[in-house]
């Protein structure tokens, strides 16, 4: 029996394409110093989960880069991370949020990310709860030139 696409899946593909097009058009009209795309699912493969949050990751990464975004903020996987998408001669910084709940992967502590924008760069910081002190502390920070 040949593979048949689920009509509902095709509908979501069309919706996603429309949303990506709208984001690209909005970013194209924007004079913003930094263009930030926010999506729900993790756009990079999780190190702990070892899974993508996207059904067709390579196509999605190309589409995200083509929007003109400088940064994409995402989550879903309950695993924090910092990375980049390198597609079509562009680099998009990726800030993947963990969770402020107690449901982090592998019992990771609650965490949040901070983006710091400067004229010549973007810094992404991950702050996680230090359970001993009860305070959030910087656990990772990466700088990206613009």
Per-residue pLDDT of the chain (146 residues; tens, 9 = 90+): 343 445 555 665 676 888 899 999 999 999 999 999 999 999 999 998 898 888 888 988 999 999 999 999 999 888 999 999 999 999 999 999 998 887 777 788 999 999 999 989 999 999 999 999 999 999 999 999 98
List, in order of start, the domains of the chain with CATH numbers: 7-145 (3.60.21.10)
pTM of this prediction? 0.87
Comparing CA positions, the residue from 115, 118, 83, 112 lying closest to residue 100 is 112
């Amino acid at each position: 029996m040949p593979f048949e696409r689920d009509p509902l899946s095709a509908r979501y593909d069309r919706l996603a394409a429309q949303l990506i097009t709208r984001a690209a058009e909005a970013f194209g009209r924007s004079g913003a110093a930094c263009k930030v795309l926010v999506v729900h699912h993790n756009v990079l493969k999780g190190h702990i989960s070892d899974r993508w949050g996207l059904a067709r990751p390579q196509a999605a990464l190309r589409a995200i880069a083509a929007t003109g975004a400088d940064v994409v903020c995402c989550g879903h996987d309950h695993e924090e991370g910092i990375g980049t998408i390198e597609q079509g001669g562009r680099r998009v910084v990726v800030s993947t949020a963990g969770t402020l709940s107690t449901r982090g992967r592998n019992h990771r502590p609650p965490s949040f990310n901070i983006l710091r924008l400067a004229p010549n760069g973007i810094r992404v910081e991950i702050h996680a709860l230090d359970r001993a002190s009860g305070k959030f502390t910087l656990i990772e920070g990466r700088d990206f030139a613009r």
